[in-house]
Structure 1
Amino acid sequence: MSVLGKRLKAARAEAGLSQEALGIEAGLDPMSASARMNRYEVGARAPNYDLMVALGKVLKLPAAYFYAAKDDEAELLRLYHRLPSEARRKVLDGLRAQGNND
């Protein structure tokens, strides 16, 4: 299973969606949604970026989360994306300040 597939499967399970339901909500043909999602999750096929954006919207995650090279980076993206906008601004300000102190 690819990293993308692993994260996709975990996010889908956390959202409580079946492969078919997720695929349909993301705009896939209802007749093939389940099979296509299964192929993406097991790593047999890779979804294109536009589909990952659509899947991310359904799962309330940025597409970058699925493509992050390291698990801790993916976790940062997941947590940041779930913050309210004011908290996001504070996180960015803090990171910028930390970066300027190096």
Structure 2
Amino acid sequence: MDSVLPRRLKAARLHCQLTQKQLGLRLGLDENTASARMNQYERGKHAPDYLTMQRLARVLKVPVAYFYCDDDLLARLICAVAGHSAEEQRRLLQRLAVPEHPSFEE
């Protein structure tokens, strides 16, 4: 199974109307390598480390989890929920009656 990360990275970049070079430059990459590095990430030739993914998420205004979620609907939900305040997120969890689970830390 192919990683969803390259596909999501490209989709988020295009949504922000950035070229690969522009995105690389916003990450602070060297002008001569910015486009090539982003191209490698989007083709899945190389995978960025988690800290780089955090920086990409900030620039592209999406949660880091969006890049790793293998379910398209859930990825959209992650982005939608992330756009709300913490209090609104808590209310949403209550409305959805999400049960307490030991692995869910607040």
Q: TM bucket by the smaller chain? A: 0.7 to 0.9
% identical aligned pairs = 46
Alpha-carbon distance in structure 1 between the residues aligned to 2:86 and 2:79: 14
Give the equivalent residue in structure 1 for 2:9: 8
Q: Secondary structure at the match of 1:99?
A: coil
Alpha-carbon distance in structure 2 between the residues aligned to 1:13 and 1:93: 34
Alpha-carbon distance in structure 1 between the residues aligned to 2:87 and 2:31: 38
Counterpart amino acid of residue 32 in structure 1: T
Alpha-carbon distance in structure 1 between the residues aligned to 2:16 and 2:4: 18
Q: Is the 8 A contact 1:2 1:42 kept in 2?
A: no
Q: Secondary structure at the match of 2:99?
A: helix
Q: Which of 48-57 and 84-93 deviates more? A: 84-93
Give the equivalent residue in structure 1 for 2:24: 23
Alpha-carbon distance in structure 1 between the residues aligned to 2:98 and 2:38: 40
Instruction: Tell me if 1:81 matches 2:82.
Output: yes
Give the equivalent residue in structure 2 for 1:99: 99
Per the normalisation by structure 2, the TM-score is 0.82
Alpha-carbon distance in structure 1 between the residues aligned to 2:83 and 2:89: 9
Give the length in aligned residue pairs. 99
Deviation (angstroms), 1:85: 3.9
Q: Secondary structure at the match of 2:45?
A: coil
Give the equivalent residue in structure 1 for 2:49: 48
Following TM superposition, where does structure 1 have runs of at least 4 consecutive aligned residues deviating by more than 3 angstroms? none
* Structure 1: gaps of 5 or more residues: none
Q: Is the 8 A contact 1:20 1:37 kept in 2?
A: yes
Alpha-carbon distance in structure 1 between the residues aligned to 2:72 and 2:90: 23
* Structure 2: gaps of 5 or more residues: 101-106
